Amino acid sequence: MPPPLDPVAAQGHTETLQTDVAIVGAGPVGLMIANYLGLQGVRVVLLEKLEQIIDYPRAIGLDDEALRVFQSVGLADALLPHTTPDHWMRFVTHTGHCFASIEPRTDEFGWSRRNAFIQPLADRVLFEGLRRFPHVQTLFGNSVSAFAQDPTGVTIETEDEKGGRRTIRASYLVGADGGNSFVRRVLNVPFEGRTKPNQWIVVDVRNDPIGSPHVYMHCDPKRPYVSAALPHGIRRFEFMVMPGETEEELSKPENMAALIRKVVADPEKVDYIRKRVYTHNARLASRFRVDRVLLAGDAAHIMPVWQGQGYNSGIRDASNLGWKLAMVVKGLAGDALLDTYTAERRAHARSMIHLSEVAGDIFAPTSRFGIRFRDAFVRTFNLFPAVKRYFVEMRFKPMPRYETGVVLLARSERKHGWLARVLESSGHSAPGRLLGLMSEKRESRLGRLAYGRDPHCHSPVGRMFIQPRVRTVAGDVVRLDDVLGNRFAILGWGADPTFGLTPEAREIWQRLGGCFVVAKPDTQLSFHDDVPAGVIAIGDANGRMKDWFSRVPESVVLLRPDRFVAGMCTPQQVSSHIVELAAKLNLKAAGRQSVAAVVNEPAVTRDSVAAVATGA
């Protein structure tokens, strides 16, 4: 077990804490990173200026990728009671006609693609999860007043509301302190983007006065509004604030009743939780790392709420950064690995910002031209079914795909032709953002026309791997990640991936704490003679694994701890790919053993998850 945090006596009233990683901000991103590092045996100090985690609703949408990250830290089962799976988003005209319904029904990553959830309860699950780790300490009511970094670490000065001061010495600092990030401002990192001119008032209520499921986006030209069903009888309403209106005026009982009367028969019987006006921002930090300080979540990017991707993008940051930071802190990898965090996450965050802006343009255009363009565009759905499927099924949603970083894939050159220049120059208009989003996927015809063909567009390398149900040799049917754990994995279909492995490659894989897995048709799992010692055998319980491998040319996949595909190869190329991956990781000859005795342990057991869920 890792040593506890080390308080060091100092002069006066200043207490000094020594730790591996300091995280500023106990929101969902900071809590998730702390949980991941805690599982890896890394010492963490989590700093939060508030006295407790925020207890009112904010984000309401959780996607399958984020649920998979909760699973990776052993907390998915504790979160599920606070979610509603298969939560569709429906766009409705002012006459009540549903002209688009986003209803993705696939579960290739092991979970429902769209879920409603209660964020305060999800944050509570993450916070309670930290109880598992004596080497993780959370300090509420502590504001960061200053920090400075040098070649060996970061010194952070904090102060609590009573004037007590602490000095924290950490190897690395993560700023997860929101859109107005103190950490980002001290680093002087540009936060580029724009702010929408209109505002919205959010109203959360208990004892749902409507009860109908899903999310409804009412495109009322007089005042667009949203009605969203949430778990535990909570409902959210959002109304556009019209020119000349203020939060103070709208919050008056008579004005609030007038708004709620659009959707509720008796406004006097509504049980309010919270009312708040907010502005839609779309901003992106120019870089996510400055030496030993890193930015994550809203500190690195903020986006409009229309696709519910602000929360989910922050959780993606935590998943990408967590395993890399753990490797560097333990001495397994050089700190150049942390440069891949910006390289991999920033481009996708930009794509999600564009997606959110496009959804807002469709729902609430700010000009008459925008309304006419949207209505004309929607009318084409019935003429071109393929176009309708593309948008209604959200096939345009940009999934993370890493072309640089820890991937064994040569970066293709983009040919910026005349159409690319037109799209980029028109990006500030609603049609321009829509066309730009379509062109970002170079698998699409528009994307290929604008930027040139990507020879690797159909490769799974750099993409998230599927998570089907698999059978273990004990006979249990579980999700794939429950077998793999939070570690590197080499998974081969139908053949031993260790056959012919060189001593050098085997030593590298052992140093990484990686596992070898062979996937078989479920009928073959009871035959063990073709599975050598040290290789995990799994049965393809529903045939999805076989289907996946049938669509790719190679039969062996190298998986990162965040379940992205680092590379693919034939069984005879496994050794060379391991060596190449080690170079991408900037792998060192030996890891530091003082922090964690065990490297890359699998996820915590079901018993520990149950204990967290019940508060034991």
Q: Which residues contact 65 (CB under 8 A, 6 or more apart)?
A: 109, 312, 315, 316, 400, 464
Number of domains in the chain: 2
Neighbours of 84 (CB within 10 A): 19
pLDDT at position 426, please? Answer: 47
Cβ distance 36 to 318 under 8 Å?
yes
Q: Are 341 and 474 members of one domain? A: no
State the pLDDT confidence band at 14, using cuts at 50, 70 and 90. Answer: low
60-117 pLDDT per residue, tens: 999 999 999 999 999 999 999 999 999 988 888 777 777 777 787 889 999 999 999 9
d(CA 398, CA 182): 30
Q: Does the annotation place 228 within a ligand binding site?
A: no
DSSP string, 314-373: HHHHHHHHHHHHHHHHTTSB-GGGGHHHHHHHHHHHHHHHHHHHHHHHHHS-SSHHHHHH
pLDDT at position 305, please? Answer: 60
Q: Does the annotation place 193 within a ligand binding site?
A: no
Q: Does the annotation place 291 within a ligand binding site?
A: yes
Is the pLDDT at 425 greater than 50, yes or no?
A: no
Tell me, yes or no, whether 507 lies in a domain.
yes
d(CA 489, CA 541): 19
Rounded (10°) angle between helices 28-39 and 309-329 = 30
Could you tell me which of 397, 399, 398, 402 has the C-alpha nearest to residue 324? 402
Tell me, yes or no, whether 225 lies in a domain.
no
The pTM is what?
A: 0.86
Q: Does the annotation place 23 within a ligand binding site?
A: yes
Q: Considering only 316-325, 462-471, 590-599, which range has the smallest mean pLDDT?
A: 590-599
DSSP string, 52-107: S---S----EEEHHHHHHHHHTT-HHHHGGGEEES--EEEEETTS-EEEEE-----
Q: Does the annotation place 36 within a ligand binding site?
A: yes
Q: Does the annotation place 289 within a ligand binding site?
A: yes
Q: Does the annotation place 288 within a ligand binding site?
A: yes
d(CA 104, CA 86): 8
Residues 543-566, mean pLDDT to the nearest whole number: 97
Could you tell me which of 463, 427, 433 has the C-alpha nearest to residue 344? 463
Residue 267 has what DSSP assignment? G
Could you tell me which of 161, 157, 138 has the C-alpha nearest to residue 148? 157
Q: Does the annotation place 263 within a ligand binding site?
A: no
Q: Does the annotation place 53 within a ligand binding site?
A: no
Examine the fold and report which residue of 345, 363, 378 is the final residue of a domain before the chain moves on: 345
Q: Are 335 and 477 members of one domain? A: no
Examine the fold and report which residue of 345, 373, 397 is the final residue of a domain before the chain moves on: 345
DSSP string, 511-532: HHT-EEEEEEEGGGTT--TTS-
Q: Does the annotation place 47 within a ligand binding site?
A: yes
Q: Does the annotation place 530 within a ligand binding site?
A: no
| Mean pLDDT score of the chain | 84
d(CA 388, CA 395): 10
Q: Are 339 and 473 members of one domain? A: no
Is the pLDDT at 418 greater than 60, yes or no?
A: no
Is the pLDDT at 516 greater than 60, yes or no?
A: yes
Q: Does the annotation place 293 within a ligand binding site?
A: yes
Tell me, yes or no, whether 57 lies in a domain.
yes
Q: Does the annotation place 31 within a ligand binding site?
A: yes
Cβ distance 136 to 26 under 8 Å?
no
Q: Does the annotation place 585 within a ligand binding site?
A: no
Q: Does the annotation place 63 within a ligand binding site?
A: no
Q: Are 23 and 172 members of one domain? A: yes
Could you tell me which of 106, 109, 40 has the C-alpha nearest to residue 563? 109
pLDDT at position 410, please? Answer: 55
CATH at 532: 3.40.30.10
d(CA 317, CA 405): 14
Tell me, yes or no, whether 216 lies in a domain.
no
Is the pLDDT at 281 greater than 90, yes or no?
A: no
DSSP string, 214-264: SEEEEE-SSS-EEEEEEGGGEEEEEEEEPTT--HHHHTSHHHHHHHHTTT-
pLDDT at position 591, please? Answer: 40
d(CA 92, CA 213): 14
Q: Considering only 283-287, 409-413, 583-587, 607-611, which range has the smallest mean pLDDT?
A: 607-611
Q: Does the annotation place 298 within a ligand binding site?
A: yes
Q: Does the annotation place 44 within a ligand binding site?
A: yes
Is the pLDDT at 385 greater than 50, yes or no?
A: yes
Q: Does the annotation place 230 within a ligand binding site?
A: no
Q: Does the annotation place 541 within a ligand binding site?
A: no
Q: Which residues of 15-28 are buried (b: 16+ CB within 10 A; e: fewer)?
A: ebbbbbbbbbbbbb
Residues 540-568, mean pLDDT to the nearest whole number: 97
d(CA 565, CA 216): 36
Q: Does the annotation place 29 within a ligand binding site?
A: yes
Tell me, yes or no, whether 563 lies in a domain.
yes
pLDDT at position 420, please? Answer: 47
pLDDT at position 366, please? Answer: 55
Residue in the structure block whose two tokens are 């965090």: 341
433-450 pLDDT per residue, tens: 555 555 455 444 444 444
- State the number of CA atoms in the 13 A half-sphere of 191 facing the CB: 24
Q: Does the annotation place 295 within a ligand binding site?
A: yes
d(CA 240, CA 136): 42
Q: Does the annotation place 534 within a ligand binding site?
A: no
Residues 281-299, mean pLDDT to the nearest whole number: 94
Q: Does the annotation place 21 within a ligand binding site?
A: yes
Question: Domain limits at 534?
Answer: 469-584
Q: Which residues contact 547 (CB under 8 A, 6 or more apart)?
A: none
Tell me, yes or no, whether 234 lies in a domain.
no
> Which pair of tokens denotes residue 203?
């109203």
Q: Does the annotation place 435 within a ligand binding site?
A: no
Strands 489-493 and 565-569, sheet pairing: unpaired
Q: Does the annotation place 292 within a ligand binding site?
A: yes
Residue in the structure block whose two tokens are 């998915």: 76
Residue 83: which region, alpha, beta or left (left: phi > 0; alpha: psi -120 to 50)?
beta
Q: Does the annotation place 556 within a ligand binding site?
A: no
> Which pair of tokens denotes residue 304?
């409009």
pLDDT at position 213, please? Answer: 92
d(CA 139, CA 98): 48
CATH at 176: 3.50.50.60
State the pLDDT confidence band at 379, using cuts at 50, 70 and 90. Answer: low
Q: 74: burial class by Cβ within 10 Å (0-12, 13-18, 19+)?
A: buried
d(CA 72, CA 37): 12
d(CA 34, CA 31): 5
34-61 pLDDT per residue, tens: 999 999 999 999 999 999 998 887 899 9
Tell me, yes or no, whether 209 lies in a domain.
no
Three-state secondary-structure class, residue 535? strand
pLDDT at position 169, please? Answer: 97
Q: Does the annotation place 296 within a ligand binding site?
A: yes
Q: Does the annotation place 100 within a ligand binding site?
A: no
Is the pLDDT at 457 greater than 60, yes or no?
A: no
Q: Does the annotation place 43 within a ligand binding site?
A: yes
Q: Does the annotation place 346 within a ligand binding site?
A: no
126-185 pLDDT per residue, tens: 999 999 999 999 999 999 999 999 999 999 999 998 888 999 999 999 999 999 999 999
Tell me, yes or no, whether 319 lies in a domain.
yes
d(CA 540, CA 523): 9
Q: Which residues of 547-586 are buried (b: 16+ CB within 10 A; e: fewer)?
A: ebbeeeebbbbbbbbbbbbbbbbebeebbebbebbbebbb
Q: Does the annotation place 449 within a ligand binding site?
A: no
